[in-house]
Chain A
Amino acid sequence: MNHFPQAWGRPRDDIYGHYNSSYLQTANPTQHTQSPVVTGTSVVAIKYKDGVVIAADNLASYGSLARFTDVKRLRKFNSSTVLGFGGDVSDMQYLDRLLNDLDVKENYSHADDEASQLSANNLHTYLSKVMYKRRTDFNPLWNHILVAGISSESEPFLASVDLLGTTFSSPSLATGYGAHLAQPIMRKLVPDEEAVKGISKEQAVDVVKECMKVLFYRDARSMDGYSIAVISKEGIEIKENEKLENQSWQFAERIRGYGTQVN
């Protein structure tokens, strides 16, 4: 007689043969998300002397399928901050709701007063704690986020936080493919904080648009419809239905895999 709990209430091996124990619950570790599902690609952002410019395209991919083409990945938070989300779209929606709740709560104590509203650096710190907590629970929110806005010291602010809770700050930032393809272009313009002071809004917007174009040329999960926002002390200008202009695919003619040249 087998007294082990696994055998309780089960047919006896000596009569019915070996019981297929693969049906039994095995004590596996709890598993959470192992990969993102519906994803957004790069977000690019750059500081200029009075603020920050940030952009992301409007595509949400389901694997390699271009599933949703009107997805707004730049999310506004109060009057001084815009967040750009790369990575899982439903996790972005979760964070968006989390921040909406935060905004509602903030309004309870100081609706009438700009000075004590959460500024971009406050929000970035908060998000980094949320992301780090989730990765520590082995249940990460699968995003790479850029926080663009105005800091408590009324300076342009740009920083990132990723699914591990890693934070990073620089005069220009890009997530995903953009980190490889857009960053070098933007860094040429603003190699360091000092250089930011010499950059105008127009220069910043131009380089971001250039980056979006390069990304569309080379990133197969990107799209030519995008959103762009300019955040300054005067407030937030956000355009959500932009189209890439002046594309030139000439460079592609000699490259295998592009356009008509399939092999």
Chain B
Amino acid sequence: MTSIGTGYDLSNSVFSPDGRNFQVEYAVKAVENGGTAVGIRCKDGVVIALEKLVTSKLMKPNANKRIATVDRHIGVVSSGLVPDGRHFVVRARAEAAEWRKIYKAPIPVHSLADRVGQYVQAHTLYSSVRPFGITAIVGGWDSETEVPVDGQVGSGPSTGAGGKKEGGKHGGPFLYMIEPSGLFWGYYGAATGKGRQTAKSELEKLDLAAGTLTLEQGVKEAARIIYVAHEDSKDKEFELEMTWISSLSGPTKGRHEEVPKEIREEAERLAKKSLDDDDDDEEEEKKDDKMEE
């Protein structure tokens, strides 16, 4: 950051002589101190979890939800400037509604990530706006079966033209992370916010690319990872907020919903337990290699 104060960092949409857009880099700084958020793409769904730091005792507990629903099948969480996260969600919802108007069907998760990604990127192009001070995790489930078109009124003829080819693979779980630059990648496991480094190394241990982790396990892992990532700021209280989207045959029937209280609390209990175990392990100077349950 040697070029700070040379004047090239005072306006958005301006390149410095070495080809950087400083305002975007500064926006990334705004993200780095937010509560940790993780998303895990499981075999049969997606989990989203957030470490929600309690800034005041006066706040109403378990209110102030930060993981938002877009359409019915997509969840969005962001870390960084909370109002910017709201702006992001408002736009994502508008895109999803617009998609439905045209295609009479829910927006695929990738298309949503693509569209909001473009919107975020547009905020790096003009001096009349500032970039988003958030990194957002977008997770969802695209229906694996044929869904009725919006407004569909009957099933039409059962024979003749219009038959569908059998056996094609459709839908499934999807997870993306969008940065202040508008860049986004697809992930097996994504993490952002203050504890992202810890969270990422925990996610890597899960071997998510194998595609064997179930949603049920994913919920437990997500809770555990948030607890592990919170270790660095242990003095602050936090609430764990957790949502999921399962397959149509799973517990949420393809919808994005809050993880039921009992399941979340059980996951939290296990998370705390595994932290205590780890502490013991460290004392015995043993490596942690019993991650699976």
Residues of A whose CB lies within 8 Å of any CB of B are 58, 60, 68, 70-73, 89, 92-94, 96-97, 100-101, 104-105, 107-108, 111-112
Contacts and interface: CB of A to CB of B under 8 A. Distances in A.
Contact of B258 (A92, A96, A108, A112): A112
A96 to B, nearest CB: 5
A108 B93 contact: yes
Contacts of B71: 104
30 contacts: A60-B153, A60-B154, A68-B154, A70-B154, A70-B156, A71-B153, A72-B153, A72-B154, A73-B153, A89-B153, A92-B151, A92-B153, A93-B151, A93-B152, A94-B151, A96-B150, A96-B151, A97-B100, A97-B101, A97-B151, A100-B100, A104-B71, A104-B96, A105-B93, A107-B69, A107-B72, A108-B69, A108-B93, A111-B257, A112-B258
Nearest to A58: B154
A73 B101 CA distance: 21
A108 B257 CA distance: 11
B249 interface: no
B69 A70 contact: no
B97 interface: yes
Consensus secondary structure, chain A interface: helix
Contacts of A100: 100, 150-151
B97 A70 contact: no
B149 to A, nearest CB: 9
What bracket does the count of chain B residues touching chain A fall in?
10 to 19
Contacts of A108: 68-69, 93
A104 B256 CA distance: 12
Contacts of A107: 69, 72
Interface of B: 68-69, 71-72, 93, 96-97, 100-101, 104, 150-156, 257-258
Contacts of B97: 101, 104-105
B100 A93 contact: no
Nearest to A94: B151
Contacts of A101: 97, 100
B100 to A, nearest CB: 7
A129 B69 CA distance: 28
Nearest to B154: A70
B155 A70 contact: yes
A108 B67 CA distance: 11
B150 A104 contact: no
Nearest to A89: B153
A107 B71 CA distance: 9
Nearest to B157: A70
Given A71-B153, A97-B151, 4 more contacts: A89-B153, A92-B151, A92-B153, A100-B151
A93 B153 CA distance: 7
Contacts of B93: 105, 108
Nearest to A95: B151
B150 A97 contact: yes
A97 B154 contact: no
Contacts of A73: 153
B154 to A, nearest CB: 4
A88 B69 CA distance: 33
Nearest to A60: B153
B147 to A, nearest CB: 12
A189 B155 CA distance: 36
A97 B96 CA distance: 13
Contacts of A60: 153-154
Contacts of B96: 104
A98 to B, nearest CB: 9
